[in-house]
């Protein structure tokens, strides 16, 4: 599933809150120094607020439940790489307000 970013994500969130079945999608955007992320993949439009972009992305990718946020760590290594201790790495690619991710787990 695509993850929308920026103005496109903001528009989709508002559309989803008006009609929750309108856009089955995920997205996030920055607003007043906070990252607003939403997941409408089930039609329920869950919305959460994060202090970092990497935590918003990791929540959207189901690396943690919101109740686990205090114990979850994600470190932005560069504009295209997020390190998730004990799990692996996420590479990020942005094109036209769409985020593409690839996860590389640590080998056991």
Q: State yes or no: pLDDT of 1 exceeds 90.
A: no
Quote the number of domains for the chain: 1
Decide which of 6 and 41 is more confident.
6
Q: What is the pLDDT of residue 21?
A: 64
Least confident of 12-16, 46-50, 64-68: 12-16
Domain that holds residue 34: 3-105
pLDDT in tens, 50-100: 999 999 999 999 999 999 999 999 999 999 999 999 999 999 999 999 999
What does each C-alpha distance from 25 to 13, 53, 71, 95 come to in angstroms? Answer: 9, 18, 27, 16
């Amino acid at each position: 599933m695509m993850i929308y970013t920026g103005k496109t994500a903001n528009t989709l969130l508002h559309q989803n809150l008006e009609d929750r079945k309108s856009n089955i999608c995920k997205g996030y955007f920055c607003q007043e120094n906070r990252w607003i992320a939403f997941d409408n993949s089930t039609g329920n439009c869950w919305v959460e607020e994060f202090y970092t972009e990497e935590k918003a992305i990791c929540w959207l990718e189901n690396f943690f439940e919101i109740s686990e946020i205090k114990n979850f760590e994600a470190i932005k290594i560069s504009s295209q790489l997020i390190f998730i201790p004990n799990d692996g790495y996420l590479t990020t690619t942005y094109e036209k307000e769409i985020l593409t991710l690839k996860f590389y787990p640590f080998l056991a």
